[in-house]
Chains A and B, each alone.
Chain A
């Protein structure tokens, strides 16, 4: 499979001379094109810092990041890199530029100097892919949090990126908004083959991912399928993370002496496992 993002021994520091903190410690990873990767970590684990390296908002102090083969420290490639990797941020209010939904979605294509006749179809298609086409003439401040975040995603989609990095896109949303956004990005991954990198600290959002990377203190402490990562309950606890509710339930049952599989992640799997045990 094609590798879309490749990090080689990346180090990053924050702060000035004396009180510098090392936010990323020798990170190396490869992300396959078309995959759905969740990056999990508590506050200050370096996950957002890593995300900002993926589209050249930050550049590594040591090491290299390659996006589709392009070196992110090369200033001339910045626009191409940002066209390839789009980014959605935490607060939907602070990333919407225009006062009309469709104008905001057009912002990216306008920036890259796309021809006028091509912008409109792209904007419409992007809005349809996130289910916001009917609201295209609304003012963003009249929308709900989940809708605003979907507009922000449409703004990225309109650039036709190969990869979207979402930095805690659901942190400021209510449960229904959270579901809207998570369903939307899963659909984009499935239907359009767009690589998704979802940064989050909600365990439950990582369940549908192909791959789960756990970060703590600037380091990758676990990397694998969600099932294999979540079976290591003790390791996650040490990293200050909880596990999905289903895993928690089975973990507690196991401690009571019931032999249940820890990799039953979805609610259905969990229910089936428990049913089989006690039926």
Chain B
């Protein structure tokens, strides 16, 4: 049941994209998403597509892998495509079947929209495929650091996230164990109506939660006895460091923004 949960879907590697500072990647991804909504006209989309393509090629992530990650939203893509295709009115009528007319403008809007959604999905997937969840947590902590001045619990939040990530495999293992134990005593998780199956999960969830609380308690004691006392005065073994490649990546991101904004004016 839980075998198909992949952890953050990280594909380890040692390419240029993998080695980039996670902060750079996070910032670039956010920037890319914003610029994606500024894009207008064929040329700006071409630039956006080219930029992401270069990143994908550099990361050596297979296109099929990337696209299969977009599978869950194929339905949404098709629906938005069809709606835009039929409901956009324009001047150049392409053809008319019964009461449905398709205009050239509709085809354009639908095409751009699908491309936009695909690019959106692919750029976020590229981030999670090439960055381990732990690095992402670190990057988030570093980027949110200024909020500490506003008493926002940045360190606590990232500690919680990294502990949650650490315990996912442990809890999955435990779930499997409890399921086997309940199955051995005749529990049935797979058949029956939705209501019955939901009810059957109760004897699974209760021991799981009790176990999780016990773990949390023990972990807190263990952390305390290793001198944990919050984020204050804490150092880090692995400091995030910006290399030349990171600055180059950020500059190219800025160039992308400028290019798209200019093309938007021109187009």
A102 CA to B222 CA, complexed, in Å: 17
When C-beta atoms are compared, the residue in chain B nearest to A139 turns out to be: B169
Q: Which of B133, B162, B165, B224 has most A Cβ within 10 Å?
A: B224
Pick from A94, A95, A97, A159: contact of B227, CB below 8 A.
Answer: A159
Main secondary structure of the interface of B (DSSP, over half): helix
User: Which of the segments B117-125, B182-190, B235-243 contacts the partner chain?
Assistant: B235-243
The answer to whether B237 touches A106 (Cβ under 8 A) is: yes
In this complex, how many residues of chain A approach chain B with their Cβ under 8 Å: the count is 39
Pick from A89, A91, A109, A141: contact of B237, CB below 8 A.
Answer: A109
| A90-115 to B contact mask, C-beta < 8 Å, 1/0 | 01011111111011001111111111
From 158 to 180 in chain B, residues with beta carbon under 8 angstroms from any chain A beta carbon are 162-163, 165-166, 169-170, 173
In this complex, how many residues of chain B approach chain A with their Cβ under 8 Å: the count is 29
The answer to whether B166 touches A83 (Cβ under 8 A) is: no
A109 CA to B237 CA, complexed, in Å: 9
From 117 to 168 in chain A, residues with beta carbon under 8 angstroms from any chain B beta carbon are 119-120, 123, 139-141, 155-156, 159
From 209 to 245 in chain B, residues with beta carbon under 8 angstroms from any chain A beta carbon are 214-215, 218-219, 221-229, 233-239
When C-beta atoms are compared, the residue in chain A nearest to B215 turns out to be: A94
B176 to chain A minimum Cβ distance, whole angstroms, is 13
Q: Does any Cβ of A come within 8 Å of B200's Cβ?
A: no
The answer to whether B237 touches A108 (Cβ under 8 A) is: no
Q: Does any Cβ of B come within 8 Å of A2's Cβ?
A: no
A141 CA to B221 CA, complexed, in Å: 20
Q: Does any Cβ of A come within 8 Å of B134's Cβ?
A: yes
The answer to whether A103 touches B237 (Cβ under 8 A) is: yes
B3 to chain A minimum Cβ distance, whole angstroms, is 15
| B127-171 to A contact mask, C-beta < 8 Å, 1/0 | 000000110000000000000000000000000001101100110
Q: How many interface contacts (CB-CB < 8 Å) are there between A and B? A: 91
A96 CA to B235 CA, complexed, in Å: 18
Q: Does any Cβ of B come within 8 Å of A218's Cβ?
A: no
Pick from A93, A99, A106, A120: contact of B162, CB below 8 A.
Answer: A99
A64 CA to B100 CA, complexed, in Å: 88
Q: Does any Cβ of B come within 8 Å of A55's Cβ?
A: yes
A155 CA to B236 CA, complexed, in Å: 15
Q: Does any Cβ of B come within 8 Å of A116's Cβ?
A: yes
Q: Does any Cβ of B come within 8 Å of A34's Cβ?
A: no
Q: With A94-B222, A114-B235, A123-B237 in contact, is A82–B162 under 8 Å at CB?
A: no
Q: Does any Cβ of B come within 8 Å of A86's Cβ?
A: yes
The answer to whether A97 touches B166 (Cβ under 8 A) is: yes
When C-beta atoms are compared, the residue in chain A nearest to B236 turns out to be: A110
* B223 neighbours in A (Cβ, 8 Å): 97, 107
A149 CA to B94 CA, complexed, in Å: 71
Which 8 residue pairs spanning A and B have beta carbons closest together? A95-B222, A94-B218, A106-B237, A141-B169, A113-B233, A111-B227, A119-B237, A108-B226
Interface residues, chain B, with chain A CB atoms under 8 Å away: 133-134, 162-163, 165-166, 169-170, 173, 214-215, 218-219, 221-229, 233-239
Task: Please name 15 pairs of A and B residues whose Cβ atoms are closer than 8 Å in the assembled complex, sorted by A.
Answer: A57-B225, A87-B222, A89-B218, A91-B218, A94-B218, A94-B219, A96-B166, A97-B223, A98-B162, A98-B166, A99-B162, A109-B235, A109-B237, A111-B234, A156-B226
